[in-house]
Structure 1
């Protein structure tokens, strides 16, 4: 016999539990198709045949966590889908198979970020700002949530950080949708406007150079001292100087060949006489691949932050980053009359408008420009010639 009742709170609360291993089913008289299964718990579900005659049983939720009104509204939605020829059960099964944000991030790390020069950066960004959504299905992450997160991070942690988080999320979804085809939904980060970022223009000024070189001379750790000096003398990126290999240096041609830069292209760096002096002094007596060997997994120096802070502290210089040494060389090249094309060539700047010009340049004008700029910096810093640079490198080795 079919148990038909009008679902009310008092009616459902009064239903007795059946014997162990048994179940009772009740039908709502107000919304056809809505049923209540009573075992040790009470569960709303819909049992209806689709247009092709196949039975559909869709569990809605447990009572009283799901109210009677919520169950009725959900039932009407399910019946509407069935009337349109859709399968709510298939949709629910698909939703259960849908990947979470954690799943997508793992895909991102395996397919793309693992090949980055610094895979630790997206890992840190995700852990700090996006992992809170890690267990959520991709379809549950909405545009307005991402926009709100972007604004909150911009206010609390800085606009640059907020833009980095937004870019990571945007790229993850874009790859999943357009390239990997593992997600067919929308990108919730699409259309959110990044905060404007002001380009940093900090570099060592004329009045700071004497203090900077004096502090560099006083630095007892030769590895840190030479690393900082070569960063300034070559204008190369931080990661490239840290991983510099002896096999990439040609003393005869006074060149350093970087196999792959941030731009994804190789670069030949001209080595000034001062840079050659530093490298000659560092030549290892034992077998060592790296110019700045380290004890970590990479085999080279990883983090010179503490030594850098010591140098700045003694010099009384604030708001100067290691990357600003790269900008310092370029700025002093400009001061000594180098063209933007020459500066771009020496620093391996990637610019679509000038890439073809760079390709036609030989290294002679670049070398002249770098040497001239370094000479000017040395003079401004109180070091009159290359021999004075040796005063920096001839400190007791550590």
Structure 2
């Protein structure tokens, strides 16, 4: 029932409403339930009051006077009352949406209940890094139920410069939203990653030539000997006066760093596998290294060739005194023997609980080593590519290369075997020579080398 004090709300009327000690409502005379509440602070908010289908009174906030006009508020109030007439409860729907989980909550559960329970430590670390660096900063505050395909497309498109990383983020988001449906955060069949095309990826085929390996070897010897020169990013009096003399602007790298590079090249192992090697798994007598945790998800064995054996023999006496790790970290100071630390190239003695050399530290050291060697486009994983390519060029078949690199199937191995032209030529010559000899009645055919065309 309309009260005698109800008046048609206009801007002039709302502006002129006086403040009181307590907040009070002023209803509109033309639209039942629509009004403005005047607060003692001077703030005035539009609302609409209604009863839902259960006869419960609800107050629905429309907006603040000055932010929206009286006409806008009245139009919104009509829309709310129309929804109520159809059996809906806008106030309850708004409350439910505000209480709905956001992406931060979903990502926390994804990491705790999926990533950490179903993946190896090295994989867990990488997945958590992607979540924290790319997904959470962009989507974290959005409601799970409100994420659209456009949100995922925008994130995917923002990473177009790094297509492989963009595809990884897209795949992880797809998994997150599949779990969101399974955990009833979203309705079935609403994964917003559907129909978002992956970026084409160009697989790296980089490997080191004999000349590049020679340069790298020279830089490794310099790194642990005289050291590598600093890179000075700023010049001028303010900076230069705090720098040591030019002859002292060098960093000497510990033997564990240069040994890591050598073991990557001699074994063809992945970086995580080399850094995770423990002496208890190295059998120099049998010439093998046991890898308990690998990408394949099972134990694997690596053959120790002569160069790798020399590296391990040089490290073993010192490392066993300092750490169970083949390539120990150098973070803390304990009494482990000065001689051991000098052999390892460590400035401070080691503790067995320190763990292995950190991946980030090795990556940072490689950035400097490759720059000095003129190998700016070479990644540490390309050293594994080098082993596979040299194996293929030596004439080994795909099965041998697969076993050397411990691939699960031949699809990855063919990339190395197919790069080998000389062994194919050699094989072709041998087959052709035998066939020609038979055709000529047993006379051995001469194989004439084909000159390489120059352009």
TM-score class normalised by the smaller sequence: 0.7 to 0.9
CA–CA distance in 1 between the matches of 2:195 and 2:29? 45
User: What SS does the aligned partner of 1:45 have?
Assistant: strand
Contact in 1 for aligned 2:49/2:57 (Cα 8 Å): yes
Q: Structure 1 residue 172 and structure 2 residue 173: aligned? A: no
Q: Structure 1 residue 109 and structure 2 residue 144: aligned? A: no
CA deviation vs aligned residue, 1:28-78 (integer Å, no higher than 9, x gap)? 51x443232223332222222223323333222222223334323433333
Q: Who is 2:194 aligned against?
A: 190
Q: Is the deviation greater in 67-76 or in 328-337?
A: 67-76
CA–CA distance in 2 between the matches of 1:61 and 1:266? 63
User: What SS does the aligned partner of 2:48 have?
Assistant: strand
Q: Who is 1:360 aligned against?
A: none
Q: Who is 2:378 aligned against?
A: 320
Q: Who is 2:261 aligned against?
A: 228
Contact in 2 for aligned 1:3/1:27 (Cα 8 Å): no
1:347-366 alignment, distance < 5 Å? 347-351=405-409
Aligned-pair CA distance for 1:224: 1.4
Contact in 1 for aligned 2:399/2:410 (Cα 8 Å): no
Aligned-pair CA distance for 1:118: 5.0
CA–CA distance in 2 between the matches of 1:315 and 1:91? 63
CA–CA distance in 2 between the matches of 1:39 and 1:306? 60
Q: Structure 1 residue 150 and structure 2 residue 153: aligned? A: no
CA deviation vs aligned residue, 1:105-137 (integer Å, no higher than 9, x gap)? 222332234454155544544454441443332
Aligned-pair CA distance for 1:290: 0.6
Contact in 1 for aligned 2:145/2:185 (Cα 8 Å): no
1:14-33 alignment, distance < 5 Å? 14-17=16-19, 19-27=20-28, 29=30, 31-33=31-33
CA–CA distance in 2 between the matches of 1:163 and 1:258? 29
Contact in 2 for aligned 1:37/1:45 (Cα 8 Å): yes
**Residue 308 of structure 2, aligned match among 261, 275, 278:** 275
Aligned length: 351
Q: 1:316 to 1:43 in 2, by over 3 A?
A: closer
Contact in 1 for aligned 2:138/2:155 (Cα 8 Å): no
User: What SS does the aligned partner of 1:196 have?
Assistant: coil
Q: Who is 1:35 aligned against?
A: 35
User: What SS does the aligned partner of 2:396 have?
Assistant: coil
Contact in 2 for aligned 1:2/1:27 (Cα 8 Å): no
Q: 1:145 to 1:28 in 2, by over 3 A?
A: farther
Q: 1:274 to 1:265 in 2, by over 3 A?
A: same
Q: 1:94 to 1:266 in 2, by over 3 A?
A: farther
CA RMSD of aligned residues (A): 2.9
Q: Who is 1:260 aligned against?
A: 293
Aligned-pair CA distance for 1:162: 2.9
CA deviation vs aligned residue, 1:62-100 (integer Å, no higher than 9, x gap)? 222233343234333333332332322321121111222
Q: Structure 1 residue 44 and structure 2 residue 79: aligned? A: no
Q: Structure 1 residue 336 and structure 2 residue 394: aligned? A: yes
**Residue 286 of structure 1, aligned match among 321, 326, 338:** 321
CA–CA distance in 1 between the matches of 2:408 and 2:75? 58
Contact in 2 for aligned 1:235/1:325 (Cα 8 Å): yes
User: What SS does the aligned partner of 1:304 have?
Assistant: helix
Q: 1:336 to 1:22 in 2, by over 3 A?
A: closer
Aligned-pair CA distance for 1:223: 1.0
TM-score normalised by L of structure 2 = 0.69
CA deviation vs aligned residue, 1:293-345 (integer Å, no higher than 9, x gap)? 10358611112134324443443333111100111111111112223233233
CA–CA distance in 2 between the matches of 1:77 and 1:298? 65
**Residue 200 of structure 1, aligned match among 184, 201, 204:** 204
TM-score normalised by L of structure 1 = 0.78
Q: Who is 1:181 aligned against?
A: 184
CA–CA distance in 2 between the matches of 1:350 and 1:127? 30
CA–CA distance in 2 between the matches of 1:333 and 1:249? 23
Q: 1:70 to 1:167 in 2, by over 3 A?
A: farther
Q: Who is 1:243 aligned against?
A: 276
Consecutive unaligned residues of structure 2, counting only runs of 5 or more, are: 225-253, 332-352, 414-422, 424-455
CA–CA distance in 2 between the matches of 1:249 and 1:37? 78
Q: Who is 1:11 aligned against?
A: 13
Consecutive unaligned residues of structure 1, counting only runs of 5 or more, are: 356-372, 374-398
Q: Structure 1 residue 209 and structure 2 residue 210: aligned? A: no
Q: Who is 2:244 aligned against?
A: none
1:62-141 alignment, distance < 5 Å? 62-114=64-116, 115=119, 116-117=121-122, 119-130=124-135, 131-141=137-147
Larger Rg: 2
Q: 1:183 to 1:145 in 2, by over 3 A?
A: closer
